[in-house]
Structure 1
Amino acid sequence: MLPSVTEFYGDPPPSIDLSANQEILDDSVVAVLTIIATLAIAFRIIYKKRKGDRSQGDDWFILIALACLFEEYGTAACTLTSNDFGAGRHVWATDTPSLRRVSVALFIHPWIYVVTTFGLKLSVCWTYMRIFSPGTIRSTIKCKTLFDGFLVTCALASFIYGLSVWTPMTVTCRPLRHFWDQYTVASIGKCMNYLSMWAITGIRSAILDLVILLLPIPRVWSLQMSWTRKLGVMGVLALGTLAVTAAIIRLVYMSRMIHEIDITWARGSAQIWTSLEPS
């Protein structure tokens, strides 16, 4: 017989409303963001096709980011699935089988999420290369200019960021299945503090996003165009601050999860911002 939730988390505080549920809000936000992201990329591809432009590397990377190999759908699927299993409800309103299924979704989510953010970072870097670096990709890799050097560094840092999440995930728990089996009496094992690890890698990702966002500003400023057009281009680039802001807010919710007993309730808010950031 499986243990009850109270054996792990104790009795619920008397002030908590166990009927409260964030699932509808979480699912609605994720679904809307996924649709908007899909339509935006579809319009981008259609527009380029009508102009007769062929697909570039940034197009392929953003498609990978959209679909985890169908990416954004993968991130959304993990979020919606975990909600069905109890994320977005108070932990005392769930049961141990649901907690196990939430943990399975929680384990899968970082693998998919990293593909999203990695693909988006490389897509932006490739776009910068096409616009601001006059040579081919081979000449860019040779770092003939300072801008090319920073661009290649950001691309490599994006790759290292992905490895810094994936590699620890393979040894998060010993045995690995203890990650999702720890809510059964038969499971014996030990896990590292994976929430702290994700928060640290999230900080690195947010800093890298900010560096990539600021990278083209000197190039834009040196372009031979009017001040108003320069400010217009800078305004478009400034839209990237929305992703950085979402990443920072996500880190706030992630840090709360580290110290939160009511883990399923806390995850409801965190996963909204996790889906908002790449969208």
Structure 2
Amino acid sequence: MKLTTLYDGSGTPSSPYLTTILRTTYDGDVFFGDSSSTPRVVCNFVQTLDGIVSLKIPGKSGGAEISGRNQEDAFIMGVLRACADAVMIGEETFRNAPGHVWTAGCVYPTFVEAFQTFRKHVGKVSPHPLNVVVSGRGQVDLDQPLFRDTEIHSLVLTTHQGAARLHQRYGATLPATVRVLPGETLLAPSDMMALLQSEYGIHLLLHEGGPTLLAPFVEQACLDEIFLTVSPQVIGRGPTGDRPSFSGPLGLAPEQAIWGTLLSVKQADKSGHLFLRYQI
């Protein structure tokens, strides 16, 4: 595995943020600055050259198929999870990754100790970020390993309708980590972020999708940065055109377009993957 920095305009922290081993492997530092009155939200996606983030094939809908299981991509995902106070995913992303937990060591186990050392170094209370599963309809399997792992704090955000469905299925065994927010089937990003900051002390939120969950964050100006891996393959949108981009159902007019500022570009030396960072 070898990352090379081609451009870095992200600025330099007053002192190194990443530990030496992470900084050397990343070929640079990564720093997000001080949080404002709401959590800082960064997303991480991998897409093909033609902008596809999911094959929409059962059992093959995740990012691994898009990246080709690229090790540099997995490492960067691990770094971002190690930096984050919480990782947010939607119900479909959760359903498509049975047995997965959203920790740095899970996605890049070679550096599991280095990631935990880094979290201690920067004062993170927990060895892992809070795992936040968003499901407006309450279609979450609470028997998955994530909810039984005592080392990982988890949270399910849902609506009254979703909570009723979960209560019907699990009854008295429904965990207290299921939280209800306003909304019919969709939850407002502002409500979710307010809860995460006020009750869970979240300052840096890593959003890992999917596209349907990310779209309102983009549309409502709740997204601060995008980490985007470009995988050098072309797969097409499929015969029905249902393979999504990372912005999902969002459809803005030209005058509403959201423009980003390039912060950094890295390259995987052997595979040709590019790793872009934009401020939004």
TM-score of the superposition, structure 1-length normalised? 0.24
Which structure has more strand as a fraction of its residues?
2
Bigger RCO of structures 1 and 2 (CA < 8 A, at least 6 apart)? 2
Which entry has the higher C-alpha Rg, 1 or 2?
A: 1
Which structure has more helix as a fraction of its residues?
1
TM-score of the superposition, structure 2-length normalised? 0.24
